[in-house]
Amino acid sequence: MKIIREIINSTSDQNNLELLSLINKKQTTVKITNLGGIITSILFNDKNGQPVDIVLGFDNINDYCSEEYHSNYPYFGAVIGRYANRIKNGRFQIDGVTYQAAQTNGSDCLHGGVEGFDKKVWEIVEVAEVPVGRVKMKYISPDGEESFPGELTVYLTITLTEDDEIGIEFESTTDKPTAVNLTHHGYFNLNGGEGAIGGHLLKLNSSNYLEQDDNFVTTGNLINVMGTTHDFTKERTIDRDWDPSEGYDQTFVIDKETAGLELAAKARSEKTGIVFEVHTTDPVVHLYCGKYIAPLKGKNNVQYGPFSAFCLETQVHPNAINVPSFPNTILKPGEKAYSKTVYKLSHVN
């Protein structure tokens, strides 16, 4: 395993930006910056041995800070926190106290508020090449940041193995009861970012999805996928049953038997032969097909736009803080919130 560490000269007010490249013996490469914990690149050889970058993003780290990018912001490859997805009306209660977060998506709070973990510069606390390539970062979110109570300490660890497995681990502690639901918001296109992803093949290990209101906030009800346009229990193209103007923006409950790592999703491209599996300790995976990606130039001068990528965001049920029947997302002092997601890369046999 080889790790290259580069200092980035930032044109914004961000300081101490770095880009780290984890490279295994097969030349599979994962590039990470401490700006938002963004995975800027995943290079993996296609069926013909040619390297393909399977995540959307930019060649220049400073482009992640540009006004143009933030004017229609898709959160390319970043950590989402303190709370992934939407909180109804931006409001929640802990121990009888009501907290009002910013209403950044209509009347609801999206992805942690005005300035979530995706825009923070994380401290790099560990870089190691053995036994696997590893980068560990830390961010301390102060009490009251984005109206969330408690000082929250989060460790993010990203790993790459010689077997082409990419691990993403979150570990959090707090000094006051608070709401926590973290995810990593990678945008994937197994054809190197070119074209729409409707023709990608997808299978989800999920018999139920979460009902949403008109602003995509979960209501607490589960809907069985059988006989619906959301049935991915057997592999099919993403666009087979979708509304071509909407795609998918839906949370699926993983059919899990344990609290450990289990398969959530498997995608593949017939063009490149690349197979992408998502294994996670989390209970749900959110499928988003990039409807709101604004037209912009990405890596290698590739033109991005709506439906240029799919996201498979592993997390706890969105809006769980307001739905008693959903799993707990309140973290208390003395407890530790932990989750792990693994991306497994391979080829069609």
Residues taking part in catalysis: 185, 313
Instruction: Give the Cβ contact number of residue 257 at 10 Å.
Output: 7
Residue type, 39: I
Angstrom distance (rounded) from CA 174 to CA 178: 7
- Three-state DSSP at 228 gives coil
- 8 Å CB contact between 298 and 195: no
Query: Which DSSP state fits 75?
Result: -
Give, as one character, the DSSP assignment of residue 175. S
Task: Tell me phi and psi for residue 271, to 5 degrees.
Answer: -70, -50
Tokens 């706890």, residue located: 316
SS3 210: strand
Neighbours of 110 (CB within 10 A): 25
Is 186 within 8 Å of 78 (Cβ atoms)? no
Q: Which residue has the tokens 């498997």?
A: 266
